Amino acid sequence: MSDINILWADDEIELLKPQLFFLEKKGYNVTKVTNGHDALDVLTEEDIQVVFLDESMPGITGLETLERIKSKYPLLPVVMITKNEAENLMEEAIGSEIDDYLIKPVNPNQILLTLKKIIDNKRLVKEKTAMDYQQEFRQLSMDINSSPNFEEWVELYKRIIAWELKLDNSENEGLNEILNIQKKEANKEFVKYIDKNYPDWFDGQGPTLSHNLFKDKIYKTLNEEEPTLFLLLDNLRFDQWKIIEPIISELYKVDSEDYFYSILPTTTQYSRNSIFAGMTPHDIQKYHSDKWVFDHEKGGKNMHEEFFLQNQLDKAFQRKIKLQYFKVTNNSVAKDMVDKANNILNYDLTVVVYNFIDMLSHARTEMDVLKELASDEKAYRSLTKSWFLNSPLWTMLQNVSNKNIKLVIGTDHGTIRVGQPSKVIGDRDTTTNLRYKVGKKLNYVEQDVSAAKDPKSVGLPRPNLSSTFIFAKENRYFLYPNNYNYFMNLYADTFQHGGVSLEEMICPIITLSPK
């Protein structure tokens, strides 16, 4: 450990011989000075990794020395040491970005613990994370292959996400690859579970699905005492929620972290329309045929969400639920949303549909610069966090954080990074989506798809009597034989949705309240 150089500045340095001797025996190199001026001189001449700085010294004080150190060496760790326990002094030191704060007399073990925390923290976290995951690997594998039910699949998926986030920070590429393999195995087993059980869910034997989301999870927030703000972030996955959760938690308390399953296809046209209508797509087409647009037909597929939601609320409540609705697809609408944020108090329910994450996944497919910025899952999460921090949405949430409101954050479906192409042949009316197809006489690779040959049994409308739906399994994506190699390279490693995977189907629904 002889490559770790410590600078210790204290006007009573001679009284610290036991502590200094202890550090030198542990292999640290300690440079000793008695005032702030000398400390600053040493920093210009020597390569110092940590500074221990006495708060009360002659000449320039410890706080003044700290300010000068941080102005010139902002990343250099500094530990403030003082006899003074005054709260304002501690606050000033912490505000000056010290890395730790010790009260005299300090014992050698305190100093060693501080050094471990500052210098070895990253290495220790990496080693501990690796050891913990190695212990968890076997248990995860056993649980994946233990025939989980829909609730257990949610917990398994959240455990996998937790490890993804931990390994993101540990920078252990080997373990990341192992976890990716384990996640693929989980998706393989999850698809088997969906194939076997999904149709039964439409008889009420399963989890909350898209068309029951409001009834099961949101109706209970609609009371006359406080308004509800429902944010639907298109394409928001559970891992992306966990990335932005610490930001939101600065101002809001998480009351519940719940889930629902997106219906198939996991796309905006089907899942989001179902959420707002409180009906399956089959029933939407049956009862609102003038507002349902089939895949092969021209026209917007999500043009009537506000109508669907108001209709659902009118049927569910004896009183009139006053609704305010925003669909944010550009900066102009986002600005209007922020400007009208205070109006939330005048409505029972305000709904904000925010399309940025969906647009990001589609733009990433088409723009090389975004492919570089979001080259993998970790980068995709990081880009989501960066967007949220700088978004009008976060501005609005900050503006209303002092209001008496109930905040609900959800999505319509997730997305998956695709990697395995699969050939499909269909007629001219077959849909172009990469993760699902609906058409007549589809020709496909059986093991690559989950098929709904009776669409009505899984809540889907039928464009004609011989229409079949197919959904891509795991990380596959559908391609036509024409220009196969070109499109295979174009869409490989892009984020898509519409098929069957943990990432697309298991969706967060979070209830929060202002702190």
Q: Where are the domains of the chain?
A: 5-119, 122-200, 208-415+504-514, 417-501
Read off the pLDDT of residues 328-364 as tens digits, 9 standing for 90 and up.
988 788 888 899 888 999 999 999 999 876 666 555 5
Residue-wise pLDDT for 40-83, tens only, equals: 999 999 999 999 999 888 888 888 998 899 888 888 999 988 87
Given CATH 3.30.70.100, say whether it is the number of domain 208-415+504-514.
no
Q: Does domain 5-119 have CATH number 3.40.50.2300?
A: yes
Q: Judge whether residue 436 has pLDDT over 90.
A: yes
107-121, 327-341, 384-398 — most confident range:
384-398
Biggest CA-to-CA distance, the chain: 92
For residue 361, the model assigns a pLDDT of: 57
DSSP at 215: I
State how far the Cα of 10 lies from the Cα of 106, in Å rounded to an integer: 13
Measured CA to CA, the distance from residue 450 to residue 148 in angstroms comes to 19
Nearest to residue 209, comparing CAs of 257, 168, 270? 270
Per residue in 362-371, pLDDT (tens digit) is 555 555 555 5
Q: What is the pLDDT of residues 255-275, one digit of tens each?
A: 999 999 999 999 999 999 999
Residue 217 has pLDDT above 80, yes or no: yes
H/E element holding 417?
strand 416-417
* pTM given for the model: 0.82
Per-residue pLDDT tens over the stretch 176-195? 888 999 999 999 999 999 99
Q: In this structure, what token pair is assigned to residue 439? A: 């058409």
Query: What mean pLDDT is reported for the chain?
Result: 89
Radius of gyration from C-alpha coordinates of the chain: 28
pLDDT exceeds 60 at position 95: no
pLDDT class for 105, splitting at 50, 70, 90? confident
pLDDT-based confidence at residue 114 (cuts at 50, 70, 90): confident
Residue environment code for 146-158, b if the CB has 16+ CB neighbours within 10 A, otherwise e: eebebeebbebbb
